[in-house]
Amino acid sequence: MQQEQYIDKNMPSLISDLKELIRQPSVSAKNLGLEECAMLVVQIMIKSGIHAEILRLGQDIPPAVYGEVRSKKNPNKTILFYNHYDVQPEEPLELWRDPPFSGKVRGNKIYGRGSADDKGELVTRIKAVEAFLKTDGDVPCNIKFLIEGEEEVGSMHVEEYLKRYQRKLSCDGIIWEFGYVDEKDRPIISLGMKGLLYVELSVQESVRDAHSSLAVLIENPAWRMVEALKTLRDKNGKILIKDWYKEVDAFTREELGVIAQEPFDEKSFKKEYGVTRFVGNKKGIDIRKAVVGDPTCNIAGFSSGWEGPGAKTVLPSKATVKIDFRLVPKMDPLKQLSRLKRHLKEKGFADVQVHMIHGEAASRTAISDPFVKIVKKAADESFGTSVVSVSSAGTGPMYSFSKVLKAPCISVGSTYVYARIHSPNEFARIDLLRKTTKCMCKIIRRFSS
């Protein structure tokens, strides 16, 4: 196809645009460079022939970017690409081989924060549309883009964007913002995402820090917090909060069949992360079932007392813990929050304060949806073979898209599974960027027919 030839010939342009995006810091957690990056995305899209504009909700809310190309030959079918231009903070800086916003190219890899998550993915979609426009002067169906700037801090306003601009964003199918490629270079086509309940627990025992000799008299809030945390889950990862799993459905026979075929290289995974065993000593299909369908209770951070170098004999006045609970379909974040609060009170920890930071429901596209077959065939043609996964282990606002736009969402992309996203020395593989751009062309072509 002409588009694939165009992509091969114009890979230097793809790499150049990605380097330009990486070099523009856009850290949502610090409110750094978001406006500038949104404008840069608009410029890159316009240069590729895509109509692009800034969408806004308010002065203090990061802008979203909307892109659109209307098809002359098939104006009745629309595919939407969802991406984000914001990135994770770059710290710890000392662990980066090159500056985190350098876009350094080494062999087959482009390094830098956002190279994979999510600027590399975004560029593949833009360049796929460009390939049609430059070779045919048209696209096989209507193409739309929604690119937000808050994904890395929980997409707090994406549902508001979807509702306000619902008519503008209406579509028949959605390609999600990322997709993993496994150790054997097979794209993982994910049909869903887990939900999330992110909370902060805190205990205040005294009005100020004290000398640690007073630990015989004053309760240490860190110990109090540890005792509370031990009531939340057992050593095998099962959450002990009453009714936590009440709404959860068992996997269907069809889903279990797909899960059984999902690849998971235990040796490679353990080597990559330097671990010798999995939670609950999971093996075989239980590993796969857990990744796509088990709720979790994870301590994301614990803060109390002296955390600097050397010794300080202090009895802290306060202990704070951040916990993320991964949720599965039919789990309501607010209902789970209520169950958490009730649990702590019933277990004698009414003094533990609970503050909800973020919540998202889980979402899954049915295996039988025709969109699944379209994406699978395109990925098989581009990569040789692909793998369908019932759900990603991660979280994103997929539920909001499905609820508001009423269209199936599927995740497929170019991110190598060990690309160090959210870590120092994040990278994107150039060969996978090339294959994924071609894959996007095939998806658009198949979707249109």
Assess whether 212 and 311 both reside in one domain: yes
pLDDT of residue 262: 87
- Flag whether 218 is in a domain: yes
Assess whether 185 and 315 both reside in one domain: no
- Flag whether 280 is in a domain: no
pLDDT of residue 154: 86
Contact (CB, 8 A) for 317 and 205: yes
- Flag whether 277 is in a domain: no
Range of the domain at 417: 2-191+365-448
Assess whether 43 and 19 both reside in one domain: yes
State the burial class of residue 381 (Cβ atoms within 10 Å of its Cβ: 0-12, 13-18, 19+): middle
- Flag whether 273 is in a domain: no
Assess whether 382 and 420 both reside in one domain: yes
Query: Looking at residue 330, which CATH number applies to its domain?
Result: 3.30.70.360
Assess whether 307 and 235 both reside in one domain: yes
Instruction: Give the residue from 439, 292, 433 showing the smallest Cα distance to 374.
Output: 439
- Flag whether 279 is in a domain: no
> Taking the model in full, what pTM does it have?
0.88
Assess whether 332 and 440 both reside in one domain: no
Assess whether 124 and 185 both reside in one domain: yes
Query: Looking at residue 50, which CATH number applies to its domain?
Result: 3.40.630.10
- Both tokens of 159, joined, read 């549902």
Instruction: Give the residue from 305, 306, 361 showing the smallest Cα distance to 333.
Output: 361
Number of structural domains, the chain? 2
The residue from 322, 343, 360 where one domain ends is: 360
The residue from 342, 360, 378 where one domain ends is: 360
- Both tokens of 61, joined, read 């809310």
- Flag whether 266 is in a domain: no
- Cα-atom radius of gyration of the chain, to the nearest Å? 23
The residue from 305, 328, 360 where one domain ends is: 360
- Flag whether 267 is in a domain: no
Query: What DSSP string describes 81-142?
Result: EEEE--B-----GGG-SS-TTS--EETTEEESTTTTTTHHHHHHHHHHHHHHHHHTSS-SSE
Assess whether 212 and 344 both reside in one domain: yes
- Flag whether 329 is in a domain: yes
**pLDDT beneath 50, residues of the chain:** none
Assess whether 371 and 354 both reside in one domain: no
Assess whether 369 and 432 both reside in one domain: yes
Assess whether 119 and 215 both reside in one domain: no
